[in-house]
Amino acid sequence: MTIRNMVLSAAILAATASPAVGAETITKNATVAPDATVEVSNVQGSVEVTAWDRNEVQLVAELESSKDELEFEATERMVRIEVDRPSGKYHNDEDDAFLTLHVPKGVRLIVDTVSADVTVTGVRGEQSLQSVSGELGTQAFDAPVNATAVSGEITIVGNGGKAVVTTENVSGSSTVSGIRGSYTGEVVSGEIRANVAQADRIEANSVSGEIAIQAELSSTAQVEMETVSGTIALTIKPPVNANFDIETFSGDIENCFGQKPRDTSKYTPGSELNFTQGSGGARVEIQTLSGEISICDR
């Protein structure tokens, strides 16, 4: 299909998509490539996405507000779904929009919401999920997953695949389990709880939030964690073969491997702890200004 035809198809489908009038349910279907991009934007309510074996996107939209308009544009390579609402009218409790989608399992999925919750099941392509205050929940397989929220909770459950998983949150918590390989987590005051198998790379940082990571490190793993005033707890599955570089300006270091931190200067309250556990190989760097750091293997 030429680019011109794709654009034309999108225009035709957009023109034939009926805007919502009053509270109603709208159903749309489009045949797409198995690895098409599906982009969804909603304000409040929910977005539920479930993968299936058909090369087809099916949308069932339930709109409570007569002011909402549903846009549905589709080409073979891309589907764009958006609930449009007049500016300034998007946090009335009675005006939810519920979007239920079925998509091919290999699609690249992009979802943006303001307060709508997002639930994704079975999508194996790349995912980018973002919400201000909605909750985000998905599964990770082998493709990258990026979830960003301000106050919403983030939950990512892996199936043991080697996905690159990233969570970014402000005050909500991020819970990540069952992933393998790479994880990056950032939070301001919320919490990060992650469990990473055969980790090659872990990065986590917070301002005042709590970071708790359980990891099995590969022989060349790189772990970088920092917090200004929060807590960092790193639990490494034995056997532990890693080089540790830990530094604090005025915080505390707790090390169950036995080595004691030393003062970095007689003029400042800082301390540091550098040691090799086992045969080394993996590299662990952790730093804090005034927070608490603990490392352990149990």
Note the residues at the interface with other proteins (CB under 8 A).
10, 39, 41-43, 69, 73, 78, 80, 82-88, 90-91, 108, 110, 112-115, 126, 128, 130-133, 144, 146, 148-151, 164, 166, 168, 170-171, 184, 186, 188-189, 203, 205, 207-208, 226, 228-229, 247, 249-250, 265, 267-268, 270, 287, 289-290
Q: Which residues contact 176 (CB under 8 A, 6 or more apart)?
A: 154, 155, 156, 158, 165, 167, 183, 185, 192, 193, 194, 195, 196
SS3 state of residue 90:
coil
The two tokens of residue 288 are 């804090």
> Which CB atom, from 174 or from 240, has the smaller least distance to other proteins?
174
Toward other proteins, which CB reaches closer, 112 or 117? 112
Contact by Cβ (8 Å): 21, 66: yes
Least distance in Å: CB of 287 to other proteins? Answer: 5
Contact assessment for residue 98 and residue 115, using Cβ atoms and an 8 Å cutoff? no
Other C-beta atoms lying within 10 Å of the C-beta of residue 2:
7
Is 280 exposed, middle or buried (CB count within 10 Å of its CB: 0-12, 13-18, 19+)? middle
Q: How far is the CB of 298 from other proteins (least distance, A)?
A: 28
DSSP 4: H
Q: Are 237 and 214 in contact (CB under 8 A)?
A: yes
Cβ distance to other proteins smaller for residue 24 or 82: 82
3-state helix, strand, coil in the chain (%, to 5): 5, 60, 35
- Reduced to 3 states (helix: H, G, I; strand: E, B; else coil), residue 91 is coil
Residue (22 or 86) nearer to other proteins, CB: 86
Residue 34 CB, shortest distance to other proteins, in Å, is 16
Cβ of residue 10: shortest distance to other proteins, in angstroms? 7
Q: State in angstroms the smallest separation of the CB of 143 from other proteins.
A: 8
- Helix (H) or strand (E) holding 13, with range, is helix 3-16
Nearer to other proteins, 10 or 278 (CB): 10
Query: Using CA atoms, how far apart are residues 36 and 273, in angstroms rounded to an integer?
Result: 49
Closest distance of CB 278 from other proteins, Å? 26
Q: HEC states along 235-279?
A: EECCCCCEEEEEEECCCEEEECCCCCCEECCCCCCCEEEEEEECC
Closest CA to 211 of 138, 153, 293, 272: 293
CB closer to other proteins, 250 vs 276: 250
Instruction: Give 47 or 240: the residue with its C-beta nearer to other proteins.
Output: 47
- Minimum CB separation of residue 88 from other proteins in Å reads 6
Residue with smaller CB distance to other proteins, 98 or 240? 98
Rounded to a whole number of angstroms, the minimum distance from the CB of residue 239 to other proteins is: 29
